[in-house]
A and B are shown apart, each in its own frame.
Chain A
Amino acid sequence: MTGTEQAQQTKQGRMGRLLRDKDQLSLQSMIIPGILFVFVFTFIPLYGVLIAFKEYNIVTGIKGIFEAEWVGLANFKEFVNDINFWNMLKNTLGINLLSLLITFPFTILFAILLNEVTSAKFKKLTQTVTYLPHFISWSIFGGLVISILSPSTGVVNYLLQKLGIIDQAIHFLGNPDYFWLLAVLTNLIKELGWGAILYLAAIAGIDQEMYEAAYMDGATRFQRIWHITLPSITGTIVILLVFQISNILNSGFDQFFVLQNPLNIDASEVIDTYVYKVGLQEFRMEYATAVGLMKTVIALFLLYLANFIAKKITGKGIF
């Protein structure tokens, strides 16, 4: 069947043909379960966001979402006036910005340096080892961090004391002042290798003749990196930067939930852990939904903004 034939048919004729077409029916029957899935697990919860503007009771279930009484912006007003809210917003933004400043450039640097390793075997070994922590859950990795930083038996305090940098053991995770940096650095160690994988793929795609020609012309190694490698992966850098910025409120529940304790909570409470606690431990569901909704709206706005800026500066964006 060609495109013109198809266009000539009336809509009714198409439906009739669709029903008679066995292959088309099979294909549709493969698609429908997935579409139903999205309706149930994405669209219904989207509708459930309405409870942010309502007075909701969990025992009323889904039906209650429709029947609950409207309270307008009361839930939003409540969190704007909540001191905890501003504190955890500060933590979320602060940790993510710090991470953007440290993790993002360091990952690019790592990818470029790894590419400069001349021994293929050693390169492979480094990749294998640095990818590994990505596959370990935060409940385990966080447990390792806690035991290594322990003031009594942890190796970090031991080394710092031996080197004479500190006199007394520091309870790193018990002090809010250290938390932001600790969160960023532990995440860096966990995700550095895996984060470099797309850069490495982009670098592998660069034409080797460019490097040879540059070498013939007397370019030093640093000049070759600066003038060939870096410009060749700008596209990848921009795309990943846009994603990173749009993710700035998604600090990830796992890391913070595992590493936080009553002593560092002032610096370690982020939006995701806050929503969990307020919503499912204190059962203030409308309030938690309102916070979650605000997060989604800001995230979409950031994605749009980052993409807009990326397009303006480099002419490349993701949409």
Chain B
Amino acid sequence: MVKDNSLSDRIFNICNITFMLILIVLTLYPFWYSIIGSFNTGTDYARGGVYLWTRDFTLSNYKALFSDNALIKAFGVTISRTIIGTVTHVLFTSMFAYAFSRPNLKLKNAYATIGLMSMYLSGGLIPYFILLNSLGLYNSFLVYIIPALFSFWNVILFRSYFAELPDALIESAKIDGAGEYRIFFTMILPLSKPVMAAIALFTAVGHWNAYYDSMVYTLGSELQTVQLYILKLIQSTEAALLLANMSTSTAAGQGAVTTTTLQLAAMVAASLPIIVIYPFVQKFFIKGMLIGSVKG
């Protein structure tokens, strides 16, 4: 960066930093707002003015929230689909990408065409729904896993990383008698940790945040994900009211929990894992995004 200390330059710097600070506050404030609200008693919150700090501290919102079995179950569904879905997606897609990156693969152009078509064409919601229904995936846990196994976009990311690995490595393993599967599992996978991490994280966030498939392809609350649970809580005040009333009759005392503070607590509980983990894994996300942009 050029060093410049003229007056106009210093004014520019001050304005620029102020602008960035405003953006930081604008971005972070909504999260702060939900946190302080979720620790405030409901009736007190309803008077308004809980904008900077909790006024009437309570844990009742969280107690009420986690006394609901549906939420515990939803966390179970979301955690399982995130783990199983991420592992299977990364294995399935990276194996395809490895074979796709090998120069001696026959019919490569045909496969590339089919892959690209899968990125740009779609039959739309209804034909897809009919398909899942016919495959028996409707209202089954597998509807979260199987249709999410493969993504050609991620194949491109994997391949551009595999292509950077020295060819001599694979050739020498072949001379030693290793087959393609052995090379993939014992050499390529361990050497590709950065790209694996990046794609695994994107996939995991996708699974964690998913509610659409849960809403459209499952019924009832057995297979409901956390995000769908929250969406229902936000969209139907009755659902939240029911939960709030249930808690006041059992614990806490009148008015400690209202629909609004309960909704805030639910939002905090569901976003917390991402907010806590995110700063530590940020570099992988950025790397993943940039691998894609170089070749794609």
Contact = CB atoms under 8 A, between A and B. Distances in A.
Interface of A: 18, 22-24, 26-28, 30-31, 33-35, 37-38, 40-42, 44-49, 51, 58, 61-62, 65, 110, 113-114, 116-118, 122, 125-126, 128-133, 135-137, 139-148, 150, 152-153, 155, 158, 189, 192-193, 197-198, 201, 208, 211-212, 215, 220-221, 224, 253-254, 258, 275-276, 279-280, 285, 288-289, 292-293, 295-296, 300
Nearest to B30: A144
A40 B131 contact: yes
Contact of B123 (A30, A46, A258, A279): A46
B130 A48 contact: yes
A293 B118 CA distance: 16
24 contacts: A27-B99, A28-B105, A35-B114, A38-B114, A48-B130, A58-B130, A117-B16, A126-B23, A129-B24, A139-B227, A139-B228, A143-B263, A143-B267, A147-B34, A147-B37, A148-B33, A153-B48, A197-B290, A211-B2, A253-B212, A258-B235, A280-B126, A285-B126, A288-B126
A111 to B, nearest CB: 12
Contacts of B266: 143
Given A26-B181, A34-B96, A144 B124 contact: no
Chain B facing A: main interface SS: helix
B72 interface: no
Contacts of A296: 121-122, 124
A38 B30 contact: no
B231 A258 contact: yes
A34 B209 CA distance: 25
A295 B123 CA distance: 11
A152 B263 contact: no
B168 interface: no
Nearest to B147: A41
A148 B36 CA distance: 13
A49 B117 contact: no
Of listed A31, A113, A130, residue having the most chain B CB within 10 A: A31
Complex A-B, nearest 3 residue pairs according to Cβ-Cβ distance, in ascending order: A48-B127, A45-B123, A292-B124
Interface of B: 1-2, 4, 8-9, 12-13, 16-17, 19-20, 23-24, 26-31, 33-34, 37, 45-46, 48-51, 92-93, 95-96, 98-100, 102, 104-107, 111, 114-115, 117-118, 120-131, 133-135, 147, 149-150, 152, 155, 174, 179-181, 184, 205, 208-212, 216, 227-228, 230-231, 234-235, 260, 263-264, 266-267, 270-271, 274-275, 278-279, 282, 285-286, 289-290, 293
Given A37-B150, A117-B20, A135-B278, A153 B234 contact: no
B230 A139 contact: yes
Nearest to A46: B123
A155 B33 contact: yes
Contacts of B129: 279-280
A38 B114 CA distance: 7
Q: Which of B49, B184, B211, B216 has the most CB of A within 10 A?
A: B211
Contacts of B208: 137
A189 B234 contact: no
A135 B260 contact: no
A34 B227 contact: no
Contacts, number: 261
Contacts of A189: 26-27
B125 A280 contact: yes
Contacts of B155: 34
Nearest to A286: B126
B227 A48 contact: no
B147 A117 contact: no
A58 B133 contact: yes
Contacts of B96: 30-31, 33-34
Contacts of A212: 2
Nearest to B290: A201
A9 to B, nearest CB: 12
A160 B33 CA distance: 17
A49 B127 CA distance: 6
Contacts of A295: 124
A113 B20 contact: yes
Given A30-B96, A129-B24, A158-B48, 19 more contacts: A26-B179, A27-B102, A28-B107, A35-B111, A38-B118, A117-B20, A118-B1, A118-B13, A130-B27, A135-B274, A147-B33, A147-B37, A147-B264, A155-B33, A197-B286, A208-B1, A279-B125, A292-B124, A293-B124
A12 to B, nearest CB: 15
B12 A221 contact: yes
A137 B213 CA distance: 14
A126 B23 CA distance: 8
A23 B212 contact: no
A303 to B, nearest CB: 8
